[in-house]
């Protein structure tokens, strides 16, 4: 187990549900271009990325926890701590991806990938499908008034939680 937040979450899960299935994690997908859905053992998460400028965006996140856990404050606290940890990891990852994509763009290069061969196989298939379905002109612009395919939003994030 990588962190104390993950350990606490797994302990609470095991306390109320049973053995935590450590051989697999969450299933997640992206709905082009800005919605991410993650479904795990006892929760669903929807994150909507909203571009604010070429270098900034905000992320509005909505979490749905199974109703059986509402009465267990220790579980909800452990879940929140684990989710905050994931948000920070995701922010770091998004920052690095944005920096790399921006550097490629500034060098006039188009490059797609890389993808993890097993953990992100669904993402690669999804993006391959999108590339087949959206017509692109020779200069790299998406046809049909959808905007330029070279635009990148940055990982500068504000996580907004519903009140």
What would the pLDDT profile of 53-89 be if each residue is shown by its tens digit?
767 777 888 888 888 888 999 999 999 998 888 888 7
Query: Is residue 61 a contact partner of residue 161, using CB atoms and an 8 Å limit?
Result: yes
Residue % of the chain over a pLDDT of 70? 66
Tell me phi and psi for residue 146, to 5 degrees.
Answer: -85, -5
Closest to 87 (Cα-Cα) out of 44, 34, 32, 47 = 47
Count: domains in the chain:
1
* DSSP H or E segment with residue 52: strand 43-53
Would you say residue 107 lies in a domain?
Answer: yes
Residue 90 DSSP SS3 = helix
Positive or negative, the Cα torsion across 114, 117, 118, 122?
positive
Long-range residue pairs from 11-19, CB within 8 A, at least 24 positions apart, any chain = 11/78, 12/72, 12/74, 12/75, 12/78, 12/79, 13/41, 13/42, 13/75, 15/75, 16/68, 16/69, 16/72, 16/75, 17/41, 17/42
Would you say residue 126 lies in a domain?
Answer: no
Would you say residue 136 lies in a domain?
Answer: no
Report the distance separating Cα 84 and Cα 150, nearest Å. Answer: 30
Would you say residue 23 lies in a domain?
Answer: yes
Q: Give residue 63's pLDDT.
A: 87
Report the distance separating Cα 1 and Cα 110, nearest Å. Answer: 37
For residue 32, the 8-state DSSP code is T
Is the full-model pTM beyond 0.75?
no
Would you say residue 132 lies in a domain?
Answer: no
> Quick check: 105 pLDDT over 60?
yes
Report the distance separating Cα 128 and Cα 112, nearest Å. Answer: 10
Q: Give residue 151's pLDDT.
A: 31
54: containing domain? 4-119+151-160
Q: Give residue 135's pLDDT.
A: 62
Would you say residue 31 lies in a domain?
Answer: yes
> Quick check: 110 pLDDT over 60?
yes
Name the residue with higher pLDDT: 133 or 147.
133
Range name among 17-26, 52-61, 121-130, 142-151 with the lowest pLDDT average: 142-151
């Amino acid at each position: 187990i990588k962190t104390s937040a993950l350990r606490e979450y797994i302990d609470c899960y095991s306390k109320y549900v049973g053995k935590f299935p450590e051989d697999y994690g969450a299933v997640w997908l992206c709905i082009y271009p800005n919605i991410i859905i993650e479904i795990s053992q006892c929760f669903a998460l929807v994150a909507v990325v909203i571009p604010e400028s070429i270098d900034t965006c905000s992320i509005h996140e909505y979490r749905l926890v199974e109703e059986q856990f509402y009465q267990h404050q220790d579980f909800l606290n452990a879940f929140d701590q684990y989710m905050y940890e994931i948000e920070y990891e995701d922010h770091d990852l998004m920052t690095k991806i944005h920096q790399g994509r921006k550097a490629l763009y500034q060098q006039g290069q188009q490059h797609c990938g890389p993808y993890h061969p097993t953990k992100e196989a669904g993402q690669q298939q999804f993006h391959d499908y999108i590339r087949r379905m959206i017509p692109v002109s020779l200069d790299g612009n998406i046809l049909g008034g959808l905007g330029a395919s070279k635009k990148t939003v940055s990982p500068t994030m504000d996580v907004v939680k519903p009140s």
